[in-house]
Amino acid sequence: MERLSARLLSWASLIDEKTLDQAKTTARMPFIHPHLALMPDAHLGKGATVGSVIPTLGAIIPAAVGVDIGCGMIAVRTQFTRSDLDGRDLAELREQIERAIPLSAGRYNNKVVATAQPRIDELEALAEKSGFDPESYAGNWRLQLGTLGSGNHFIEVSVDELDRVWLFLHSGSRGVGNRIAGHHIAVAQRLAKQWWIDLPDPDLAYLVEGTPEFTRYIRELRWAQHFALLNREEMMDRVVRQVSEFLGTTVDEQERINCHHNFTESEKHFGKQVWVSRKGAIQADAGRPGLIPGSMGTASYVVEGLGNPLSLNSSPHGAGREYSRSAARRTFTHDQLREAMVGIEFRDTDAFIDEIPQAYKPIDTVMADAADLVTIRHTLRQLVNVKGD
Protein backbone atom coordinates (compact mmCIF):
# COMPACT_ATOMS: atom_id res chain seq x y z
CA MET A 1 0.00 0.00 0.00
CA GLU A 2 1.20 3.51 -0.82
CA ARG A 3 -0.10 6.72 0.75
CA LEU A 4 -0.31 9.18 -2.14
CA SER A 5 -1.84 11.97 -0.05
CA ALA A 6 -3.64 12.46 3.24
CA ARG A 7 -6.86 11.37 1.52
CA LEU A 8 -5.65 8.86 -1.07
CA LEU A 9 -4.22 5.39 -0.44
CA SER A 10 -3.30 3.05 -3.30
CA TRP A 11 -2.79 -0.71 -3.54
CA ALA A 12 -2.12 -0.55 -7.31
CA SER A 13 1.40 -1.33 -8.50
CA LEU A 14 0.28 -1.01 -12.13
CA ILE A 15 -1.46 2.31 -12.76
CA ASP A 16 -1.24 5.12 -15.32
CA GLU A 17 -1.03 8.86 -14.69
CA LYS A 18 -4.51 9.65 -16.01
CA THR A 19 -6.06 7.20 -13.57
CA LEU A 20 -3.99 8.59 -10.70
CA ASP A 21 -4.99 12.15 -11.59
CA GLN A 22 -8.65 11.15 -11.66
CA ALA A 23 -8.41 9.46 -8.26
CA LYS A 24 -6.60 12.46 -6.77
CA THR A 25 -9.35 14.75 -8.05
CA THR A 26 -12.08 12.63 -6.45
CA ALA A 27 -10.12 12.37 -3.19
CA ARG A 28 -10.13 16.18 -2.92
CA MET A 29 -13.93 16.37 -2.74
CA PRO A 30 -14.69 18.01 0.65
CA PHE A 31 -16.89 15.22 2.03
CA ILE A 32 -14.43 12.33 1.59
CA HIS A 33 -13.80 10.67 4.99
CA PRO A 34 -11.27 9.50 5.89
CA HIS A 35 -9.66 8.74 2.53
CA LEU A 36 -10.26 7.17 -0.88
CA ALA A 37 -8.83 3.66 -1.27
CA LEU A 38 -7.54 2.77 -4.74
CA MET A 39 -7.66 -0.96 -5.46
CA PRO A 40 -5.00 -2.96 -7.39
CA ASP A 41 -7.22 -3.16 -10.50
CA ALA A 42 -7.85 0.60 -10.70
CA HIS A 43 -8.31 2.14 -14.12
CA LEU A 44 -9.87 5.23 -15.69
CA GLY A 45 -13.64 5.50 -15.27
CA LYS A 46 -16.42 8.02 -15.77
CA GLY A 47 -16.08 10.68 -13.10
CA ALA A 48 -14.64 8.34 -10.49
CA THR A 49 -11.99 5.68 -11.01
CA VAL A 50 -13.06 2.08 -11.56
CA GLY A 51 -11.49 0.15 -8.71
CA SER A 52 -11.96 2.79 -6.03
CA VAL A 53 -13.60 2.81 -2.62
CA ILE A 54 -15.12 6.20 -1.86
CA PRO A 55 -16.38 6.93 1.68
CA THR A 56 -18.48 10.10 1.90
CA LEU A 57 -20.03 12.07 4.75
CA GLY A 58 -23.53 13.42 4.09
CA ALA A 59 -23.41 13.04 0.31
CA ILE A 60 -23.18 10.48 -2.50
CA ILE A 61 -21.75 10.87 -6.00
CA PRO A 62 -24.06 8.77 -8.24
CA ALA A 63 -21.36 8.38 -10.91
CA ALA A 64 -19.05 6.98 -8.21
CA VAL A 65 -21.39 4.01 -7.91
CA GLY A 66 -21.44 3.63 -11.67
CA VAL A 67 -24.11 3.05 -14.28
CA ASP A 68 -24.30 -0.72 -13.80
CA ILE A 69 -25.71 -0.55 -10.28
CA GLY A 70 -25.21 -3.75 -8.31
CA CYS A 71 -22.98 -5.40 -10.89
CA GLY A 72 -21.17 -8.36 -9.38
CA MET A 73 -20.38 -12.05 -9.34
CA ILE A 74 -22.03 -15.31 -8.34
CA ALA A 75 -20.40 -18.74 -8.10
CA VAL A 76 -21.60 -22.24 -7.27
CA ARG A 77 -19.34 -25.15 -6.32
CA THR A 78 -20.80 -28.43 -7.54
CA GLN A 79 -20.17 -32.05 -6.58
CA PHE A 80 -18.68 -32.73 -10.02
CA THR A 81 -14.99 -32.99 -10.88
CA ARG A 82 -13.17 -32.47 -14.14
CA SER A 83 -13.32 -36.22 -14.86
CA ASP A 84 -17.12 -35.91 -15.12
CA LEU A 85 -16.60 -33.60 -18.11
CA ASP A 86 -13.78 -35.53 -19.79
CA GLY A 87 -14.71 -36.86 -23.21
CA ARG A 88 -17.89 -34.79 -23.39
CA ASP A 89 -18.67 -32.18 -26.03
CA LEU A 90 -18.27 -28.91 -24.12
CA ALA A 91 -19.44 -26.96 -27.17
CA GLU A 92 -22.84 -28.58 -26.63
CA LEU A 93 -22.88 -27.40 -23.01
CA ARG A 94 -21.91 -23.87 -24.08
CA GLU A 95 -24.69 -23.81 -26.65
CA GLN A 96 -27.24 -25.08 -24.11
CA ILE A 97 -26.32 -22.25 -21.75
CA GLU A 98 -26.49 -19.73 -24.61
CA ARG A 99 -30.02 -20.92 -25.43
CA ALA A 100 -31.15 -20.75 -21.79
CA ILE A 101 -29.90 -17.22 -21.08
CA PRO A 102 -30.32 -14.21 -23.39
CA LEU A 103 -26.91 -12.67 -24.13
CA SER A 104 -25.71 -9.30 -25.42
CA ALA A 105 -26.90 -5.72 -25.08
CA GLY A 106 -30.64 -5.27 -25.68
CA ARG A 107 -31.38 -9.01 -25.56
CA TYR A 108 -34.05 -10.02 -23.06
CA ASN A 109 -36.44 -12.87 -22.27
CA ASN A 110 -39.55 -13.36 -24.40
CA LYS A 111 -41.64 -14.06 -21.30
CA VAL A 112 -41.37 -14.28 -17.53
CA VAL A 113 -40.54 -17.91 -16.79
CA ALA A 114 -41.69 -19.82 -13.72
CA THR A 115 -38.37 -19.56 -11.86
CA ALA A 116 -38.27 -15.79 -12.38
CA GLN A 117 -41.84 -15.05 -11.23
CA PRO A 118 -41.18 -15.19 -7.44
CA ARG A 119 -38.22 -12.87 -7.93
CA ILE A 120 -40.34 -10.49 -10.00
CA ASP A 121 -42.96 -10.52 -7.23
CA GLU A 122 -40.26 -9.69 -4.68
CA LEU A 123 -38.99 -6.79 -6.78
CA GLU A 124 -42.51 -5.46 -7.36
CA ALA A 125 -43.14 -5.46 -3.60
CA LEU A 126 -39.82 -3.71 -2.96
CA ALA A 127 -40.57 -1.06 -5.61
CA GLU A 128 -44.00 -0.40 -4.08
CA LYS A 129 -42.43 -0.06 -0.63
CA SER A 130 -39.80 2.29 -2.10
CA GLY A 131 -42.49 4.43 -3.71
CA PHE A 132 -41.49 4.23 -7.36
CA ASP A 133 -42.42 2.39 -10.53
CA PRO A 134 -39.52 0.69 -12.35
CA GLU A 135 -41.61 0.86 -15.54
CA SER A 136 -40.97 4.61 -15.58
CA TYR A 137 -37.37 3.65 -16.45
CA ALA A 138 -37.87 0.45 -18.47
CA GLY A 139 -41.27 -0.92 -19.40
CA ASN A 140 -39.79 -4.37 -20.00
CA TRP A 141 -37.75 -4.60 -16.78
CA ARG A 142 -39.41 -7.92 -15.83
CA LEU A 143 -38.10 -9.48 -19.06
CA GLN A 144 -34.59 -8.26 -18.21
CA LEU A 145 -34.34 -10.48 -15.13
CA GLY A 146 -32.24 -13.53 -16.01
CA THR A 147 -30.24 -11.92 -18.84
CA LEU A 148 -26.48 -11.42 -19.12
CA GLY A 149 -25.64 -8.34 -21.17
CA SER A 150 -22.33 -7.78 -22.94
CA GLY A 151 -18.87 -6.28 -22.39
CA ASN A 152 -16.98 -8.04 -19.62
CA HIS A 153 -20.03 -9.94 -18.39
CA PHE A 154 -19.67 -13.70 -18.72
CA ILE A 155 -20.74 -17.20 -17.69
CA GLU A 156 -18.06 -19.81 -17.06
CA VAL A 157 -17.65 -23.44 -16.15
CA SER A 158 -14.36 -23.76 -14.28
CA VAL A 159 -12.35 -26.14 -12.12
CA ASP A 160 -10.44 -25.34 -8.95
CA GLU A 161 -7.09 -26.62 -7.67
CA LEU A 162 -8.76 -29.89 -6.63
CA ASP A 163 -10.42 -30.28 -10.06
CA ARG A 164 -13.85 -29.54 -8.58
CA VAL A 165 -16.30 -27.97 -11.03
CA TRP A 166 -17.53 -24.43 -10.33
CA LEU A 167 -20.17 -22.41 -12.17
CA PHE A 168 -19.31 -18.73 -12.30
CA LEU A 169 -20.99 -15.64 -13.77
CA HIS A 170 -20.72 -11.85 -13.84
CA SER A 171 -23.59 -9.43 -14.50
CA GLY A 172 -25.55 -6.51 -13.06
CA SER A 173 -28.82 -4.60 -13.20
CA ARG A 174 -29.05 -4.46 -16.99
CA GLY A 175 -30.95 -1.68 -18.81
CA VAL A 176 -33.23 -0.75 -15.94
CA GLY A 177 -30.28 -0.19 -13.58
CA ASN A 178 -28.46 1.82 -16.23
CA ARG A 179 -31.44 4.14 -16.68
CA ILE A 180 -31.90 4.60 -12.93
CA ALA A 181 -28.22 5.52 -12.63
CA GLY A 182 -28.33 7.86 -15.62
CA HIS A 183 -31.37 9.68 -14.25
CA HIS A 184 -29.78 10.39 -10.87
CA ILE A 185 -26.43 11.40 -12.35
CA ALA A 186 -28.35 13.96 -14.42
CA VAL A 187 -30.29 15.16 -11.34
CA ALA A 188 -27.04 15.68 -9.43
CA GLN A 189 -25.55 17.62 -12.34
CA ARG A 190 -28.67 19.79 -12.64
CA LEU A 191 -28.56 20.62 -8.93
CA ALA A 192 -24.87 21.52 -9.16
CA LYS A 193 -25.66 24.04 -11.89
CA GLN A 194 -28.71 25.32 -10.02
CA TRP A 195 -26.65 26.01 -6.88
CA TRP A 196 -23.55 27.28 -8.70
CA ILE A 197 -21.40 24.45 -7.34
CA ASP A 198 -17.99 24.49 -9.00
CA LEU A 199 -17.00 20.88 -9.74
CA PRO A 200 -13.63 19.65 -11.05
CA ASP A 201 -15.58 17.18 -13.23
CA PRO A 202 -19.35 17.26 -14.00
CA ASP A 203 -19.50 13.52 -13.22
CA LEU A 204 -18.50 14.26 -9.62
CA ALA A 205 -21.87 15.94 -9.06
CA TYR A 206 -23.36 14.78 -5.78
CA LEU A 207 -26.62 14.50 -3.87
CA VAL A 208 -26.82 15.84 -0.31
CA GLU A 209 -28.15 13.62 2.46
CA GLY A 210 -31.48 14.80 3.82
CA THR A 211 -32.77 16.15 0.50
CA PRO A 212 -35.65 14.54 -1.44
CA GLU A 213 -33.30 13.86 -4.34
CA PHE A 214 -30.89 11.94 -2.09
CA THR A 215 -33.69 9.92 -0.47
CA ARG A 216 -35.14 8.95 -3.83
CA TYR A 217 -31.74 7.92 -5.13
CA ILE A 218 -31.05 5.66 -2.17
CA ARG A 219 -34.44 3.94 -2.50
CA GLU A 220 -34.06 3.33 -6.22
CA LEU A 221 -30.37 2.43 -5.88
CA ARG A 222 -31.20 -0.28 -3.35
CA TRP A 223 -33.93 -1.62 -5.60
CA ALA A 224 -31.47 -1.80 -8.53
CA GLN A 225 -28.86 -3.48 -6.33
CA HIS A 226 -31.40 -6.12 -5.36
CA PHE A 227 -32.47 -6.54 -8.99
CA ALA A 228 -28.83 -7.22 -9.89
CA LEU A 229 -28.46 -9.79 -7.12
CA LEU A 230 -31.65 -11.61 -8.14
CA ASN A 231 -30.67 -11.37 -11.80
CA ARG A 232 -27.52 -13.34 -11.01
CA GLU A 233 -29.49 -15.85 -8.93
CA GLU A 234 -31.95 -16.42 -11.79
CA MET A 235 -29.19 -16.92 -14.35
CA MET A 236 -27.25 -19.23 -12.06
CA ASP A 237 -30.36 -21.37 -11.53
CA ARG A 238 -30.61 -21.73 -15.32
CA VAL A 239 -26.92 -22.61 -15.63
CA VAL A 240 -27.34 -25.22 -12.88
CA ARG A 241 -30.31 -26.68 -14.75
CA GLN A 242 -28.39 -26.89 -18.03
CA VAL A 243 -25.40 -28.56 -16.38
CA SER A 244 -27.75 -31.04 -14.71
CA GLU A 245 -29.33 -31.88 -18.06
CA PHE A 246 -25.95 -32.08 -19.77
CA LEU A 247 -24.52 -34.52 -17.21
CA GLY A 248 -27.79 -36.35 -16.54
CA THR A 249 -27.45 -35.80 -12.79
CA THR A 250 -28.90 -33.15 -10.47
CA VAL A 251 -26.35 -30.55 -9.38
CA ASP A 252 -25.67 -30.71 -5.65
CA GLU A 253 -24.69 -27.17 -4.66
CA GLN A 254 -21.82 -27.39 -2.18
CA GLU A 255 -21.49 -23.62 -1.88
CA ARG A 256 -23.04 -20.47 -3.41
CA ILE A 257 -21.49 -16.97 -3.18
CA ASN A 258 -23.15 -13.81 -4.55
CA CYS A 259 -21.46 -10.40 -4.18
CA HIS A 260 -21.77 -6.88 -5.61
CA HIS A 261 -18.87 -4.77 -6.81
CA ASN A 262 -20.74 -1.60 -7.92
CA PHE A 263 -22.79 -0.45 -4.94
CA THR A 264 -23.22 1.84 -1.96
CA GLU A 265 -23.80 0.95 1.69
CA SER A 266 -23.93 2.92 4.94
CA GLU A 267 -21.02 1.70 7.09
CA LYS A 268 -19.00 2.86 10.08
CA HIS A 269 -15.31 3.58 9.44
CA PHE A 270 -12.82 5.49 11.55
CA GLY A 271 -15.48 6.58 14.00
CA LYS A 272 -17.95 7.98 11.43
CA GLN A 273 -21.05 6.63 9.72
CA VAL A 274 -20.29 7.10 6.03
CA TRP A 275 -21.69 6.09 2.67
CA VAL A 276 -19.17 3.73 1.08
CA SER A 277 -19.39 3.64 -2.71
CA ARG A 278 -17.44 0.72 -4.14
CA LYS A 279 -17.00 1.30 -7.86
CA GLY A 280 -15.30 -1.88 -9.03
CA ALA A 281 -14.49 -3.23 -5.56
CA ILE A 282 -15.97 -5.90 -3.32
CA GLN A 283 -16.70 -5.81 0.39
CA ALA A 284 -13.95 -7.73 2.20
CA ASP A 285 -14.86 -7.77 5.89
CA ALA A 286 -12.88 -10.32 7.90
CA GLY A 287 -14.13 -13.79 6.94
CA ARG A 288 -16.52 -12.58 4.22
CA PRO A 289 -16.39 -14.76 1.07
CA GLY A 290 -15.87 -12.97 -2.22
CA LEU A 291 -15.19 -13.47 -5.92
CA ILE A 292 -12.47 -11.86 -8.03
CA PRO A 293 -12.54 -12.84 -11.71
CA GLY A 294 -9.60 -12.58 -14.02
CA SER A 295 -10.01 -11.62 -17.65
CA MET A 296 -11.31 -13.87 -20.40
CA GLY A 297 -9.02 -16.90 -20.54
CA THR A 298 -7.22 -16.36 -17.22
CA ALA A 299 -7.70 -17.51 -13.63
CA SER A 300 -10.41 -16.33 -11.26
CA TYR A 301 -10.39 -16.48 -7.48
CA VAL A 302 -12.67 -17.37 -4.60
CA VAL A 303 -11.40 -15.29 -1.69
CA GLU A 304 -12.01 -14.46 1.95
CA GLY A 305 -11.79 -10.92 3.27
CA LEU A 306 -9.18 -9.85 5.79
CA GLY A 307 -11.06 -6.76 7.00
CA ASN A 308 -8.21 -4.33 6.29
CA PRO A 309 -9.42 -1.05 7.86
CA LEU A 310 -7.30 1.18 5.61
CA SER A 311 -9.04 -0.30 2.54
CA LEU A 312 -12.44 0.31 4.18
CA ASN A 313 -12.77 -3.50 4.29
CA SER A 314 -12.54 -3.76 0.50
CA SER A 315 -10.65 -5.58 -2.22
CA PRO A 316 -10.36 -5.55 -6.04
CA HIS A 317 -13.15 -6.86 -8.25
CA GLY A 318 -11.12 -8.19 -11.17
CA ALA A 319 -8.14 -7.64 -13.41
CA GLY A 320 -8.79 -4.02 -14.45
CA ARG A 321 -8.35 -2.76 -18.00
CA GLU A 322 -4.99 -1.60 -19.39
CA TYR A 323 -6.36 -0.90 -22.89
CA SER A 324 -9.64 0.79 -23.70
CA ARG A 325 -11.97 -1.24 -25.91
CA SER A 326 -11.11 0.79 -29.01
CA ALA A 327 -7.37 0.61 -28.25
CA ALA A 328 -7.59 -3.15 -27.73
CA ARG A 329 -9.26 -3.56 -31.12
CA ARG A 330 -6.49 -1.54 -32.74
CA THR A 331 -3.74 -3.47 -30.94
CA PHE A 332 -4.78 -7.13 -30.87
CA THR A 333 -5.97 -9.65 -33.46
CA HIS A 334 -8.45 -12.48 -33.66
CA ASP A 335 -5.56 -14.95 -33.94
CA GLN A 336 -4.11 -13.63 -30.67
CA LEU A 337 -7.50 -14.12 -29.01
CA ARG A 338 -7.62 -17.71 -30.25
CA GLU A 339 -4.13 -18.31 -28.90
CA ALA A 340 -5.11 -16.91 -25.50
CA MET A 341 -8.18 -19.17 -25.37
CA VAL A 342 -6.46 -22.47 -26.26
CA GLY A 343 -8.03 -25.27 -24.23
CA ILE A 344 -11.16 -23.26 -23.38
CA GLU A 345 -14.48 -23.79 -25.16
CA PHE A 346 -15.75 -20.37 -26.32
CA ARG A 347 -17.69 -18.77 -29.13
CA ASP A 348 -14.87 -18.04 -31.57
CA THR A 349 -15.65 -14.58 -32.95
CA ASP A 350 -13.73 -11.33 -33.40
CA ALA A 351 -16.50 -9.61 -31.40
CA PHE A 352 -14.46 -10.48 -28.29
CA ILE A 353 -11.10 -9.02 -29.34
CA ASP A 354 -11.58 -6.13 -26.90
CA GLU A 355 -11.96 -8.73 -24.09
CA ILE A 356 -8.63 -10.46 -24.85
CA PRO A 357 -6.61 -11.10 -21.65
CA GLN A 358 -3.80 -8.82 -22.86
CA ALA A 359 -6.23 -5.86 -22.68
CA TYR A 360 -6.32 -6.31 -18.89
CA LYS A 361 -3.79 -6.12 -16.07
CA PRO A 362 -2.22 -9.49 -15.20
CA ILE A 363 -4.54 -10.98 -12.60
CA ASP A 364 -1.56 -12.51 -10.74
CA THR A 365 -0.16 -9.01 -10.16
CA VAL A 366 -3.55 -7.75 -8.97
CA MET A 367 -3.83 -10.61 -6.49
CA ALA A 368 -0.28 -10.08 -5.23
CA ASP A 369 -1.12 -6.41 -4.63
CA ALA A 370 -4.22 -7.52 -2.71
CA ALA A 371 -2.34 -9.85 -0.34
CA ASP A 372 -3.25 -7.75 2.71
CA LEU A 373 -6.88 -7.38 1.61
CA VAL A 374 -7.96 -11.00 0.99
CA THR A 375 -6.73 -14.56 1.26
CA ILE A 376 -7.20 -16.90 -1.70
CA ARG A 377 -9.42 -19.90 -0.97
CA HIS A 378 -9.62 -21.33 -4.49
CA THR A 379 -8.07 -20.65 -7.89
CA LEU A 380 -10.40 -21.36 -10.81
CA ARG A 381 -9.40 -22.21 -14.40
CA GLN A 382 -11.93 -21.95 -17.21
CA LEU A 383 -13.20 -24.88 -19.25
CA VAL A 384 -16.19 -23.12 -20.87
CA ASN A 385 -16.69 -19.39 -21.51
CA VAL A 386 -19.99 -17.77 -22.54
CA LYS A 387 -20.21 -14.08 -23.46
CA GLY A 388 -22.55 -11.69 -25.24
CA ASP A 389 -21.44 -9.58 -28.20
Is 317 annotated as catalytic? yes
Active-site annotation holder among 183, 317, 334, 378: 317
Beta strands in the chain (DSSP E): 2-5, 8-10, 36-43, 50-56, 59-60, 72-81, 154-159, 164-171, 207-208, 255-260, 262-269, 272-279, 281-283, 289-292, 300-305, 314-316, 374-387
Q: In what order do the strands lie in the sheet with 272-279?
A: 2-5, 8-10, 36-43, 50-56, 272-279, 262-269
Q: Helix or strand or coil: residue 375? A: strand
Q: Give dist(CA 81, CA 77) in Å, integer.
A: 10
The residues near 12 (Cβ < 8 Å, ≥ 6 apart) are: 38, 39, 40, 41, 42, 51, 369
CB 242 within 8 A of CB 100: yes
Count CB-CB contacts under 10 A for residue 117.
12
Q: Give dist(CA 270, CA 276) in Å, integer.
A: 12
How large is the angle between the packed helices 212-247 and 90-100, nearest 10 degrees? 140
Please report the sign of the dihedral spanned by the C-alpha atoms of residue 315, residue 329, residue 357, residue 88: positive
Nearest to 107 by CA among 181, 171, 184, 168: 171
Q: Give dist(CA 124, CA 223) in Å, integer.
A: 10
Catalytic residues: 317
